[in-house]
DNA sequence: CCAAGGCTGAGAATCGTTCTCATGACTCGC
DNA sequence: GCGAGTCATGAGAACGATTCTCAGCCTTGG
């Protein structure tokens, strides 16, 4: 299969960093994280690795309001959505069977085909809310 | 209230360009469009105007998969979503009462607060599909 | 018509992301 | 273990979208 993909120290490091958290992280955050941890990896390599993982469906990608890409290794490969904490990136995988069918139905009723949808929920997780309460 | 906001030729031009279409357009597209039309407006001004309009809720903004911002003047100011043609930008405003409540419910059940959601549908509109069929 | 302060635009500066290219690291066959 | 052929890496340049700077212009209130 992917005889083409060599398992290098760098790829392992990036994958490891992703495995170590269930929060969405930007490429730059992962890059810093690896550097601080001692597993320095070039920024370009981090981007390339994330790209490859995303293409293979091994990590999920989403965009913040200002267009930055965030990555996360999810437990499941099947289609799902996320509830993400806007302050710490903590995420919960969620299903929305109802939403799925709604999307397809609405799309079709308007004559559109090849319907896809972008559905992400943003909020403040319990921990962050508590933290905010203490400091405020 | 917005005594602060002066009505200038440039702002009128940008607003006009937005009013003239129901498709999502990027700042750069609008900039070119205005130039071609003879109402040249500086790119910076286009961005500033769109930003102001978006802040005032007068235009809707969404992000393409690669992070570019698209703008559109919508008929309604109330919360709604869109079904957008990924090839021409044509958009239809849609409601999703079911989805709205689902989002809030899911968020709350996970202990998150201040839930917001990003829900956009992408597809190929009938016209674009027909066009593709002819050329393919 | 005047003054005052928001507005504009060209170009520089940012920022995230991708590309280039010389060098480095795997892998396979011997 | 050795060498060739490749894919991978990383520093830095290049890019594309967006924002900032700042001197000069225009709108508005009087």
% of chain B at pLDDT higher than 90:
90
pTM of the model: 0.92
What distance in Å separates the CA atoms of residue A51 and residue B82, rounded to the nearest whole number? 28
pLDDT recorded at residue A108: 96
- Read off the tokens for A96: 């929305």
**Which residue in chain A is spatially nearest to B128 when comparing CA positions?**
A112
A116: pLDDT strictly greater than 60: yes
**B-side interface with A, Cβ within 8 Å?**
63, 65, 67-69, 83, 85, 92, 94, 96, 98-99, 102-103, 106-107, 110-126, 129
B106 vs A63, A68, A121: nearest CB: A121
Q: What digits encode the pLDDT tens for the residues B40-71?
A: 999 999 999 999 999 999 999 999 999 999 99
Of B94, B115, B123, the CB nearest to A113: B123
- CATH superfamily entry for domain B77-136: Ferric-uptake regulator, C-terminal dimerisarion domain (3.30.1490.190)
**Listed residue (B13, B38, B58, B96) closest to A109, CA to CA:** B96
Q: Where are the domains of chain B?
A: 1-73, 77-136
Asked whether residue B32 carries a pLDDT value surpassing 50, the answer given is yes
CA distances from B79 to A13, B105, B109 (A): 43, 18, 23
Q: Residue ranges of the alpha helices (H) in A4-116? A: 9-19, 27-37, 43-55, 97-109
User: D5 C1' – A78 CA distance, angstroms?
Assistant: 38
B119 touches strand C (CB under 7 A): no
Q: What is the pLDDT of residue A44?
A: 98
Can you give the pLDDT at residue A4? 60
Q: Looking at the partner chain, which of B65, B99, B112 has a beta carbon nearest the beta carbon of A124? A: B112
- pLDDT tens, residue by residue, B77-96: 999 999 999 999 999 999 98
Going through chain A in order, the beta strands assigned E by DSSP cover 25-26, 60-63, 69-72, 81-85, 91-94, 113-124
SS3 B20: coil
Share of chain A above pLDDT 70, in %: 96
Question: Would you place residue B21 in the very low, low, confident or very high pLDDT band (cuts 50, 70, 90)?
Answer: very high
pLDDT at A132: 86
B41 alpha-carbon distance from chain centroid: 20
Does the distance separating the beta carbons of A119 and B112 come in below 8 Å? no
Q: Which fold has domain B1-73?
A: Arc Repressor Mutant, subunit A (1.10.10)
């Amino acid at each position: 299969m992917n005889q083409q993909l060599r398992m290098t120290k760098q790829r392992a490091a990036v994958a490891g960093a992703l495995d170590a958290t269930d929060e969405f992280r930007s490429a730059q955050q992962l890059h810093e994280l690896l550097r601080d941890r001692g597993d320095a990896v070039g920024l370009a390599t981090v981007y390339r690795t994330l790209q490859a993982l995303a293409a293979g469906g091994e990590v999920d990608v989403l965009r913040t309001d200002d267009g930055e890409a965030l990555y996360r290794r999810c437990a499941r490969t099947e289609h799902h959505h996320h509830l993400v904490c806007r302050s710490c990136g903590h995420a919960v995988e969620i299903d929305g069977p109802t939403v799925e069918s709604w999307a397809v139905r609405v799309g079709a009723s308007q004559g559109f085909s090849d319907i896809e949808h972008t559905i992400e929920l943003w909020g403040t997780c319990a921990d962050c809310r508590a933290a905010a309460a203490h400091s405020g």
